[in-house]
Amino acid sequence: KPLIFSGVQPTGNLHLGNYLGAIRKFVALQDTNECIYCVVDLHSLTAQLVHDDLQSQTRSITAAFLASGIDPKKHIVFNQARVLQHAELAWIFNCVARIGWMNRMTQFKDKAGKDRENASLGLLAYPSLMAADILLYRATHVPVGEDQKQHLELTRDIAQKFNNDFSARIADLDIGVEMQVGEETVNGYFPITEPIIGGPAARIMSLRDGSKKMSKSDPSDLSRINLTDDADTISKKIRKAKTDPAPLPSELDELKERPEAENLVGIYAGLADTTKEEVLRQFAGQQFSVFKPALADLAVDKLAPIAGEMRRLMADPGHIDAVLRDGGDRARAIAETTMKDVRDIIGLLGD
């Protein structure tokens, strides 16, 4: 049975990339699947240990989940730090994964920059914790933006190595499940999780530079549209977004050398829930002086209700905390069942 898991870090204001690349998919998947959505606060310590307002940022991401339409009664919404088993399984995965695997991660290289020796050990081990988040619930599918593809591949490698290394023990305990790995049918404990990536908004780029992804940590606020921006700010940022003087073409191929233009078309398609091709059919031959105001209207239309609902929810932090506490209790029950098996498989004495 499919089980969906995904997480978002409380590292700053959520932006349109987080919304279109991840949160909107979370909402769409909840109608037909069991879902677990997590505010991954432990992950946020990897790049920066001391935060001014981690608690409020954790609540704000939760508010964004709820305001976007995630139902915390039907599904599980919680913050990672409440369920200690995430850290426990991450430690075990640190011992499954190889340093070479971590060293190859492009996110680590980007975030550590030139001074790698000074990056936190947590930043290097980030994908182990991410694998633990997912596999603790034996999740089968993970909706994420394209930037997380490599980490998801590593999660699959960790699951496969664990299943292999402990295959005899898993068979002895009779707690494995049959699964298809490539051509082979194998018996394993952890599923080989599938990423859900794709659509026109899998990688939204900065509004100032079409070669950089839209990111919470970009120093320029003009580079991103925050979920909490008001209508004037959204319109201003789209008006100032970098473009080129040519009108929009009718074929997607013709946008290949125009990353900023393609990005705006992708944003429009993501917000309108359509394809880039369809957007070009509608706007072919139009100048940005026509397209940008249409995009701004659409963005305000879609985002203003979410921002309003987030404000309403943030005025009652007690309610948000209650949602996280309830979700944490339900997540912990599943997580502990997995950890009992994992301790047994490895041979760690526990209760």
Q: How many other CB atoms are there within 10 angstroms of residue 164's CB atom?
A: 13
9 lines the binding site for ligand AQP (CB under 6 A): yes
Give the orientation angle of helix 85-96 with respect to helix 121-135, to 10 degrees: 110
Active site residue 161: no
Q: How far is CA 54 from CA 13, 84, 302, 314, in A?
A: 12, 18, 27, 14
22 lines the binding site for ligand AQP (CB under 6 A): yes
Q: How many residues bind ligand AQP (CB under 6 A)?
A: 19
List, in sequence order, the alpha helices (H) in the chain. Answer: 16-18, 24-29, 41-44, 54-68, 85-96, 99-103, 106-112, 121-135, 149-165, 167-173, 231-240, 259-272, 276-283, 288-314, 317-346
155 lines the binding site for ligand AQP (CB under 6 A): no
Nearer to ligand AQP, 163 or 223 (CB): 223
Segment lying near ligand AQP (by CB under 6 A), choices 214-222, 279-287, 293-301, 334-342:
214-222
Active site residue 236: no
- Of the residues 111, 161, 236, 242, only one is catalytic, namely 111
Q: Are 192 and 257 in contact (CB under 8 A)?
A: no
- Interface residue with ligand AQP among 51, 82, 208, 216 (CB under 6 A) is 216
213 is in an annotated binding site: yes
Nearer to ligand AQP, 72 or 145 (CB): 145
51 lines the binding site for ligand AQP (CB under 6 A): no
21 lines the binding site for ligand AQP (CB under 6 A): yes
Active site residue 111: yes
139 lines the binding site for ligand AQP (CB under 6 A): no
203 lines the binding site for ligand AQP (CB under 6 A): yes
Smallest distance from ligand AQP to CB 175, Å: 30
- Interface residue with ligand AQP among 8, 158, 238, 271 (CB under 6 A) is 8
Nearer to ligand AQP, 152 or 342 (CB): 152
Interatomic CA distance for residues 288 and 265, integer angstroms: 11
Widest Cα–Cα separation across the chain: 69
Q: How many other CB atoms are there within 10 angstroms of residue 247's CB atom?
A: 16
Q: Is 205 in a helix, a strand, or coil?
A: strand
Cβ-based burial of 22 (10 A; exposed 0-12, middle 13-18, buried ≥19): buried
17 is in an annotated binding site: yes
User: If residue 37 lies in a helix (H) or strand (E), which one and from where to where?
Assistant: strand 34-39
- Of the residues 109, 149, 161, 213, only one is catalytic, namely 213
- Interface residue with ligand AQP among 58, 148, 235, 243 (CB under 6 A) is 148
209 lines the binding site for ligand AQP (CB under 6 A): no
Interatomic CA distance for residues 192 and 102, integer angstroms: 19
Instruction: List, by residue number, the catalytic residues.
Output: 111, 213, 216
* Residues of this chain that bind ligand AQP (CB under 6 A): 8-9, 11, 17-18, 21-22, 144-145, 147-148, 202-204, 213-217
